[in-house]
Chains A and B, each alone.
Chain A
């Protein structure tokens, strides 16, 4: 029995992202397309997002002009492709607080957000360091943090301390401290009768592409992502934890920046030129990618 459907929804992309950004050590190996996505989980009366993308009103044009980010579409447009409105979203799991994952808070007025407490507290520790440690504070938009404070004031921000099994029925959060960021987390969705045999991992930025979890030649040797404020070792340990949680089936670890997801799962391209990837369908749910 499958309770949850999962779709990976592209909302923007960089056509020529440096490969060493997604695969540690892949220097001088050219560029790859980097899709920007969030994940929709739907089932058991819940409408859940993993991350919310970046806020185009704040920095979209700057990013587009300077860093080659293309074709940003609003959550309203992106979610409409699968018959969901932003107002329908009741829960958001934030894998980490970088502006391209935590930026669109205000577009989801009815959602409660879940974030690791350490993502905030250790980032604040980093801020208290001398100026020469400024690199540790990158990619956090002060506007997003203010909006996060508003969420907290309104009781819509839940700070988690470590792993939280069954944060919602059949959904677990797992902490991955000092990896891509200080307080990253990833999500497991359990569809199986016993709770684990049909599980999916939504990896956030802990795994950018298949190669990170499956090896550069599919040889099974983990390769960390190209950006970490924590350690490469911790990234590999987090990857191994994910693999353990899905009975070591790498196809069940979903990297949202992987363009080749469309080759592995049913998908279609929207009128806006963005991909919709259908990872799994709950019992009774209709496909959003097949006619």
Chain B
């Protein structure tokens, strides 16, 4: 049998590479304490993961609506940006206080990187009225940061662990 350390190490590699499978999870033999710590981390991380995803979607949606504010999108934009900022503050604080078991620090760092990009967006742009009047170079910067945040989040994503970039439960795409 593979030693516990190697088991954990391999799992962490797989998680970080987004390759962990149900079969590989079942193959590991952890101590109850190790198992508990990892499970706790990923359960708690799921909420932060979903928050980051939601903030990315909020800000992207605001840009889309801001291009057609004449349709009445302005009201939703202001409301959504305010909600996104509140969510960001909460997610940032909770992610930093997550208990991170040894070895999953890279996964945790992906979440922090995504949050860092999003904080930078809110730091650079007064995302209230300004988002309705972005100049081209500003929207380029904003979209670049959004894409960076999305890439970091993708690095932390994993369907097996419930960290899904796309939730398929309400999708016409899931075959089973």
Contacts and interface: CB of A to CB of B under 8 A. Distances in A.
Interface residues of B, number: 45
Interface string B152-170: 0110000100000111111
A56 B162 CA distance: 20
Interface in A52-95: 54, 58-59, 62-63, 66-69
Contacts of A34: 175
A159 B68 contact: yes
Contacts of A153: 63, 67, 136, 139-140, 143
Given A59-B165, A153-B139, A67 B60 contact: no
B79 interface: yes
A99 B171 contact: yes
B67 A67 contact: no
Nearest to A129: B83
Interface stretch (A2-10, A139-147, A265-273, A280-288): A139-147
B146 A146 contact: yes
A17 B173 CA distance: 9
Interface string A88-128: 00000000001110000000000000000100110111011
Contacts of B167: 134-135, 137-139
B98 to A, nearest CB: 17
A31 B66 CA distance: 43
A68 B166 contact: no
Interface residues of A, number: 56
A145 B67 contact: no
Contact of B175 (A16, A98, A121, A148): A16
B45 to A, nearest CB: 15
B65 A117 contact: yes
B73 A117 contact: yes
Interface stretch (B9-17, B30-38, B49-57, B104-112): B49-57
B167 to A, nearest CB: 4
A227 interface: yes
Interface in A154-208: 155, 157, 159, 161, 180, 205, 208
Contacts of B26: none
26 contacts: A16-B176, A54-B173, A59-B165, A62-B159, A68-B175, A69-B175, A98-B172, A99-B166, A99-B171, A100-B171, A100-B173, A117-B68, A120-B65, A120-B73, A121-B61, A128-B83, A135-B167, A138-B168, A139-B170, A143-B165, A146-B60, A146-B143, A146-B147, A152-B64, A159-B64, A159-B73
Interface of B: 47, 50, 53-54, 56-58, 60-68, 71-73, 76, 79-80, 83, 136, 139-140, 143, 146-147, 150, 153-154, 159, 165-176
